[in-house]
Amino acid sequence: MISDRIIVRPIEEEMKSSYLDYSMSVIVGRALPDVRDGLKPVHRRILYAMNEMGLHYNKPHRKSARVVGEVLGKYHPHGDAAVYDALVRMAQPFSMRYCLIDGQGNFGSIDGDSPAAMRYTEARLSKISQELLKDIDKDTVEWRDNFDGTLKEPVFLPALLPNLLVNGSTGIAVGMSTNMAPHNLNEVVDAIIATIDNPDITTKELMRYIKGPDFPTGGIIYGRNDIYRAYETGRGLIKVRAKTHFEGNDIVVTELPYMVNKAEVIKHIAELVRKDVIKGIADLRDESDRKGIRIFIKLKKDAVPEIVQNQLFKHTQLETTFGILNIALVDGEPKLLTLKELINEYIKHRRIIIRKRSEYDLKKAKERKHILDGFIVALENIDEVVSLIRKSKDAKEAREKLMQRFNFSEEQAKEILSMRLHTLTSMEREALENERKEKIKEIERLEKILASTEEINRIIKEELIYLKETYGDERRTEIREAKVEMDIEDLIQEEDVVIILTNGGYIKRLSLDEYRSQRRGGKGLMAMKMKDEDTIYKIIKASTHDTILFFSSDGKVYSKKAYEIPYGSRQSKGRAIINFLPSGNIVELIPVRNFEGNVIFATEKGIVKKSRLGLFSKIRANGIKAINIGKDDRLVAAKISKGGGKIILASYDGYACMFDEKEIRPMGRAARGVIGMRRRVASMEIAYGNIDILTITENGYGKRTPISEYRVTKRGAKGVKTIKVNERNGKVVGVMAVDEKDEIMLSTKKGMMIRIKAIDIRRQGRNTMGVRLIRLNEGDKVVSFAKI
């Protein structure tokens, strides 16, 4: 009855037991490779089935569907997709370091293209896969029943090829996974031979032979220490980068990290360019062909190739981490293996295979010698043998008489009765004698092998050298010392630059060396090509490594590194600032090397404020509030203060107000500030010590005045005269603290620029007209100045 076959059991116990059975089935029977041949069951069954079908490397290809059907029908009771996927991977040169199957047709691509259906593709064993199957017919491996008990299949293959080391493996089981790196065959062979010669070899010594993983797609591995840790422990992480080079100002990618999809990388780069995460790329082309990978990345004229390359490595799969986890089945159980243990398992396996093969060959040699002994005795007594056979009524009687008369074994008698007449010739007799001698030598050789581990080791080394000479190739993956984690600016040459901002919102940087020093009153050089009705607004000197703080008229602040500002020639117009800053209404630029000290703000209505510079060290992409600007007011200046200086505010109409910095207390970012001067402010300066104050007017005139001529007042005063403002001079552009060693750069709204020495500017009193600093063309005005 059915009730007699029902087992009552708590469900939690049944779930635990059944899941454990399932887990072990997946671990042992599906997901993890056997350490002996480096194959999972599905791969082993495919190779064995193809071998049985006679699909050797020197035979015609056969339809993949035929192979899949053979594997499914005889050995692998799973879906056809699983078998075909496994077959396809073994034929992909970008997946396997040494392909085990020679495919014909579309077997997929590094772009992630799917292979053609199995009815279209054809396959056969590759030449190197024969080295996995060689000697399988010599009782060298264990066998088990297939799924329905009608056939036998190998538990593992003889595997002369150290497949697990050279091709690696990857798989996800239950509660564990494996990810083993491929290696170069030449290096693996040398390491195995070195281990045979020196069983106490260390991991460091092994790495003289095996430099590191060797991926089928090449690339560059950074960090020998990471490789050593992975080899020493069986697990670890290694950094793999694409191989790139520069062609002019452009970047070309020729090799990708292992298992990286080329089409997806290109798509991702394009997305990051659109989102402005990666800057400086003008065009992106896939120029790959049958000769190899070539991704061409065209950069914009003002882009720095090293910076863009660094961004690509940081944000895309052009740099990946390969996690090594050497878990394989050893005697049917999963085990984490070091590099030396993997090599020792291979040597142990090959010793067993060679011993079993030698035992099989010895058995066959002795059997053949036994038959040859009988042949030779029979030929020496041929007349008697023939007579005895002729007198016998049947083969059984003849066999028995031969065994009785000449003391033959049953096997010898059977073979003698099967002899052909041509064997009786003298040449055949000689051939039999020679063959017997060869068998005696072979028996001696095989017995010597079986009696000596040293002899087995010698054979292992000989066979490995054959592998190396037949299939060895050059390393594809380059190994380099660990890359130093560099900031982008480590790749940028530090130099002094001039940064120019126009009223129209265009900005550029250019080398300070572009402008030679001229005498006072010169016409200057072209600073930039202006768009129609655009004028230069601000000019500053900075280092390429400085952070530039951009202050907008409404009191917000943004930041960029100086090297991120597009480079341009003296004649170029620059790039629209709105392309890389949320606001185009920038009124002040400050170069900052470190965020120590304070920043002083001044507005057009004479409001001043002091805040710690450190408040602006971390600025969001969309900016932060720097000062609270009142109604109908705007920011006109921001300067860094070292502390203890004199603040000088200059008005458009020629007045200046000077007071101690300590008159302003530090405030937060959201504060508005306090009154500094009761006039419309054009400019602000912070002066230290006994220095001159340079006043510059819009018509190109200016003068130096000793700071001692300016009386110190409380903040909020109307100020004292600093220069005469009239038709000749025009309005005040600004004031600057200078000494005789300084150089000053002036720029005009029409794009002219002049670099002059402070000592060449005449020193005069406060209430004077000044001297000509730059000769202006008709309609031109001075709009900005900077100390070099």
| Selected catalytic residue, list 22, 57, 120, 466 | 120
A 10 A CB-CB count for 743 gives 18
Instruction: In whole angstroms, give the CA distance from residue 647 to residue 65.
Output: 87
Single out the residue of 615, 628, 548, 618 nearest to residue 588, CA to CA.
Answer: 548
Instruction: In whole angstroms, give the CA distance from residue 670 to residue 665.
Output: 14
- Helix and strand numbers (H, E) in the chain are 17, 41
- Is 120 one of the catalytic residues? yes
Strand duo 333-336 + 327-330: pairing: antiparallel
Question: Is residue 174 helix, strand or coil?
Answer: coil
Residue 761 near residue 519 (C-beta atoms within 8 A): no
| Token pair 């396809």: residue | 88
Single out the residue of 395, 441, 445, 400 nearest to residue 418, CA to CA.
Answer: 395
Residues 6+ positions from 119 with CB-CB distance below 8 Å: 63, 64, 65
Amino acid letter at 368? R
CB-hemisphere CA count at 13 Å for 317? 16
**Exposed e or buried b for every residue in 175-212, given b needs 16+ CB within 10 A?**
ebebbbbbbbbbbbbbbbbbbbeeeebebeebbebbbb
φ, ψ dihedrals at 330, nearest 5°: -120, 115
Residue 45 near residue 75 (C-beta atoms within 8 A): yes
Q: How far is CA 168 from CA 97, 179, 182, 498, in A?
A: 8, 7, 4, 55
**Exposed e or buried b for every residue in 46-68, given b needs 16+ CB within 10 A?**
bbbbbbebebbeeeeebbbbbbb
φ, ψ dihedrals at 601, nearest 5°: -110, 150
How many residues are recorded in the chain? 788
Cα angle: 686, vertex 689, 692; to 5 degrees: 70
- Token pair listed for 663: 């008159």
**DSSP letters of 223-267?**
-HHHHHHHHHHSEEEEEEE-EEEEETTEEEEEE--TT--HHHHHH
CB-hemisphere CA count at 13 Å for 548? 27
Catalytic residues: 120
